[in-house]
Homo-oligomer: A and B are copies of this chain.
Amino acid sequence: MSDFSSLAQQFCEFYYNQFDTDRSQLGNLYRDQSMLTFEASQTQGPKNIVEKLCGLGFSKVKHRISTLDAQPASPNGDVLVMVTGELLIDEEQNAQRYSQVFHLIPDAGSYYVFNDIFRLNYS
């Protein structure tokens, strides 16, 4: 597996595990210039992004990745990731399908999320 591909996989596993365990701690993965578009609502910066995610009206959530594709996104080591998957909310029986994109940028030995776009897939 190529480097950007395994990086993308590790990142997503970490991200969704953190999201599902305690999403108030996701702020470390964003920087001031980071942007999130969540169901068409746009926010910027770690504080606003975490507020947005914590304000979503559910307490229990579990993400399951169906597909994960990654491509190098710059000569500097940026990685573009597209995930499709399912999420199960609170006590609901039916999973909802979603698509999400992360643009990851290397920073001090790790990566932060520069761009994050999330959409539920209604059928």
Contacts and interface: CB of A to CB of B under 8 A. Distances in A.
Chief secondary structure at chain A's binding surface: strand
A73 B34 CA distance: 10
Contacts of A82: 82, 99, 101, 117, 119
A97 B117 contact: no
A121 interface: yes
Interface residues of A, number: 25
A35 interface: yes
A3 interface: no
* Total identical chains: 2
Interface of A: 35, 37, 40, 42, 66-67, 69, 71-74, 80, 82, 84, 97, 99, 101, 103, 114-115, 117, 119, 121-123
30 contacts: A35-B71, A35-B72, A37-B69, A40-B67, A40-B69, A42-B71, A66-B122, A67-B119, A69-B117, A71-B115, A71-B117, A73-B103, A80-B80, A80-B101, A80-B103, A80-B117, A82-B82, A82-B99, A82-B101, A82-B117, A82-B119, A84-B99, A84-B119, A97-B121, A97-B123, A99-B99, A101-B101, A103-B103, A121-B121, A123-B123
